[in-house]
Amino acid sequence: MSQKRIIQIEKDILSHNDDFAGRNRAWATEHGVFALNLVSSPGSGKTTLLCRTAEALKGRYPMAVIEGDQQTSFDADRIRATGIPAIQVNTGKGCHLDAHMVESAIAKLGVADDSVLFIENVGNLVCPAAFDLGEAYKVAILSVTEGEDKPLKYPDMFHAASMMILNKTDLLPHTDFDVARCIEFAKRVNPEIVVIQLSARTGEGFDAWLAWINEGRRRMVAQRIAQLEAKLAAAKASLETR
């Protein structure tokens, strides 16, 4: 197959995915759902982060989780054990979730209005960078056991992400990880990226992460209310002109 044909197929796949992503984003806006796409390499601590987040926020507002893995339901089982609804999406040989998978999972989950939807992508710092799922933000999670050069090795992912979480900070005394250098590399790739340092195991730095989620959800709910008010005003104006 020629290189030109390969490029065209890739464009067609991404265009098809973007159509579903647009539908997911419109749905989230209409229902006030703050959707986050969590991406990382395997073993960064995404599921532990989600479990601690669920425990910290449950009872405040609805949450749901879409778990992406090639095989098993281990991670979804861990999330459900916290009392938060979760659905497992197994991709088989696929190395990422796509927007159609997410749309189907949302329908099966029955995600509540004004909720937070966490999408835990397949552990991979390459493929998920190219696939929009309809999320509000991508959050790249990097653990201090991986090496500070990851933002330069996988620039597409860190350029696409709005936030980088440096996880497992409790292990810093036992590694030679250079935090300042890692942040500098991330900012070199994406000057606007927000960085939060935390430990999902101990809870250190967790307040900043929870505050960011709360603010994002508040904005989505406010946007939904504004849309409803605009629709009501338009309907009222239409009735008055009859």
pLDDT tens for 123-132 read: 999 999 989 9
CATH of the domain at 58: 3.40.50.300
* pLDDT of 3 higher than 60: no
Q: List the beta strands (DSSP E) in the chain.
A: 34-40, 63-69, 86-90, 116-120, 137-143, 163-167, 194-197
Q: Which of 218, 194, 213 is nearest to 52 (CA)?
A: 213
Query: Has this prediction a pTM greater than 0.85?
Result: yes
Q: Tell me the C-alpha to C-alpha distance, in Å, between residue 150 and each of 41, 66, 209.
A: 10, 25, 21
The pLDDT value given to residue 5: 55
The pLDDT value given to residue 237: 83
Domain membership of residue 52 as a residue range: 3-240
* pLDDT of 239 higher than 90: no
Total domain count, the chain: 1
Percent of the chain residues topping a pLDDT of 70: 94
* pLDDT of 231 higher than 90: no
pLDDT tens for 14-50 read: 778 899 999 999 999 999 999 999 999 999 999 999 9
Percent of the chain residues topping a pLDDT of 90: 83
* pLDDT of 1 higher than 80: no
Q: Average pLDDT, stretch 143-169?
A: 97
pLDDT tens for 59-102 read: 999 999 999 999 988 999 999 999 999 999 999 888 999 999 99
Q: Which residue has the higher pLDDT, 10 or 85?
A: 85
Rg (CA), the chain: 19
What integer best gives the mean pLDDT of the chain? 92
* pLDDT of 2 higher than 60: no
pLDDT tens for 199-227 read: 999 999 999 999 999 999 999 999 999 99
* pLDDT of 150 higher than 60: yes
